[in-house]
Amino acid sequence: MAVQGSDAVHETVNAVYVSQSRRVLATLIRLLGDFDVAEEALHDAFRAALEQWPRDGIPANPRAWLVSAGRFKAIDGIRRRSRFDQLDETGPAAELATEDGDAWVEQESVEDDSLRLIFTCCHPALSSDAQVALTLREVCGLTTEEIAQAFLTPAPTLAQRIVRAKGKIRDAHISYQVPSPAELPERLDAVLRVIYLVFNEGYAASSGPSLTRHDLSAEAIRLGRLLVDLLPEPEAIGLLALMLLHESRRGARTNDAGDLIVLEEQDRSKWDQQLIAEGSALVQRALSSRRFGAYSIQAAIAAIHAEAPHASATDWAQIVGLYDVLLHEDPSPVIELNRAVAVAMRDGPAAGLLLVNAILDRGDLRDYRLAHAARGELSRRSGDVGQARVSFQRALSLTKQEAERRFLERRLAELPELT
Amino acid sequence: MILLSISRQPRRLGVVNAGLEIRMKYLCLVYLEKEKWHAVPDRECANCGDGFRKRGMLLAAEPLHPVETATTVRVRNGKVSVTDGPFAETKEQLAGFYLIEARDLNEAIQSASKIPPAREGSIEVRPVRELTP
């Protein structure tokens, strides 16, 4: 133990809080069997650290110290309450006290605790909203107010969502476990979906309270990194790659006025090359596993865009090929639409328009704004100004996003007058 | 009968500690549309119950007559009122139940997915709570 000045110790405690508090919490939940008891214990442990570390020095293994302190405080609290409640001594306190003393600090089981926490927060028996809120609260350590603000939800609504989710975990007995290999693919999907949802929430809206929303993307990337560290499954790697490659374009996606700039017109010198390099390497890693899925393929498409020095150098043939693979993996009209746009870029607007029209005629994407925007754009490029106007107007009537609305209005204004 | 079950309920632990074998009770409610009441042969449902019993999970299981046979009883101001029904707007009705014991929700979900009417209607999995003395 090293004794330091009190300010330095406070700084150390803060640093330990930032880097370790979530892992300590994850272990305390396992040891104490309850989210709320564990959170209380976590705070007690840090309070004890603030009192004792300046006097006794910083322990060699702060995390183990904190787990031990939190566990002790919680057992103490439960014992005291039991005495007040006059319950017998066979309650949780007795169970906790008789548990073996060392297993909980072992590196392996502690890393598993972080995974247990992630899988529990993303359990499919919880609603998607609850999964997102709980993950941000428990795994990322965001406050209820921060989450509420980021999702433009009233704080009491969000708080209630978290309370209800914790109640269900407790009452329905959702176990604190990493899923078995048989369950893993499905359960991992749920986790990846939550992470991608958080990322998109931060990525899609770039006006208004942009700062807090940007933080959501950063949180999602952090979650993605944590997951890849703990469980390097190909699709987890693919999702991290996808998020990094999208993130690399953030600075080029909007102009100073907050207007959207389409991929083709972005200033590629503003793309973050470091993120691109990291993302591309991860794509390679995911694809070489030969067990990749939709996230990895989408990441591969993003990587091809990222590697083109300018829009006209994009390898559209390869992108069409990847969309074919993606359609096979995960058939959906939205992916068909994206493929149609790639075909237009490879073979010319008329070829793409044929495909877009076929999708819209089928009625699948009748109310999907981007399908009409694509039809408008391809019509414009084919010289059909009338259809372009009708389609852009339809897209405009369907969009709810401010930046998107301004983009479509600009496109409409740029159309030549019909004579 | 349900209340006399000897299984030990966790008092306040929501999450299982490794090594602690705690059994939870779950009521799996089978919901079916009226038209599909007999879509699954009784034989299959009985086999499913036998399967649960062999694995020591089954506490009780019964199929029900359709909701037209239901009677609702209320006591208000000490007076008993009896009405026909209920006839809710929902398309799916309660068609039967399996009361099972499982280690946790995952095992309960896994078991519920094996209940044959799951492929025709739906199974609602509800954790059983303990009466507080």
Closest partner residue to B15 (CB to CB) among A99, A175, A183 is A175
Task: Say if B87 falls within a structural domain.
Answer: yes
A324 strand-pairing partners? none
CATH code, domain carrying B56: 3.30.70.1060
Which strands sit side by side in the sheet containing B58-63, from one edge to the other? B58-63, B92-102, B24-33, B122-127
User: Does some domain include residue B51?
Assistant: yes
Give A267-309 pLDDT, tens digit per residue. Answer: 999 999 999 999 999 999 999 998 899 999 999 999 999 999 9
Is residue B14 in a domain? Answer: no
Q: Chain A within 8 Å of B104 (Cβ-Cβ)?
A: yes
Does the distance separating the beta carbons of A125 and B109 come in below 8 Å? yes
Smallest CA–CA separation between B14 and chain A, in Å? 4
Domain that holds residue B108: 25-127
- Which pLDDT value is given to residue A206? 43
With the CA atoms of B96, B97, B98 and B103 taken in that order, what torsion angle do they form, in degrees rounded to the nearest 10?
A: 150
pLDDT tens-digit readout, A358-413: 999 998 899 999 999 999 999 999 999 999 999 999 999 998 778 888 889 999 99
Mean pLDDT, range A250-272, rounded to an integer? 88
Considering only the beta carbons, identify the residue of B12, B105, B129 that sits closest to A34.
Answer: B12
Evaluate whether residue B11 is within a structural domain.
no
The mean pLDDT value of chain A amounts to 88
Is B15 domain-assigned? Answer: no
- pTM of the complete model: 0.83
Token readout for A340 is: 């149609």
8 Å CB contact of B14 and A125: no
Interface membership of B16 toward A (CB under 8 Å): yes
The 10 Å Cβ neighbour count of residue A419 is: 4
B contacts of A95 (beta carbons < 8 Å) = 13, 17, 20
From CA A311, how far away is CA A298, in angstroms rounded? 18
Any B CB within 8 A of A177 CB: yes
Nearest-CA residue of chain A relative to B23?
A173
B7 part of a folded domain: no
Specify the range with the lowest mean pLDDT, choosing from A177-181, A209-213, A319-323, B83-87: A209-213
Q: Does B13 reside within a domain?
A: no
Q: Which residue of A has its CA nearest to B106?
A: A174
For residues A170 and A119, the answer to whether their CB atoms sit within 8 Å is no
Q: How many domains does chain B have?
A: 1
Q: Chain B interface, mutation test: which of A40, A164, A175, most B Cβ atoms within 10 Å?
A: A175
Which tens digits make up the pLDDT trace of A228-238? 999 999 999 99
Residue B42, domain member (yes or no): yes
Q: Are A4 and A10 in contact (CB under 8 A)?
A: no
- Stretch 322-341 of chain A: residues touching chain B, C-beta under 8 Å: none
Query: Residue B126 phi/psi, 5° resolution?
Result: -120, 130
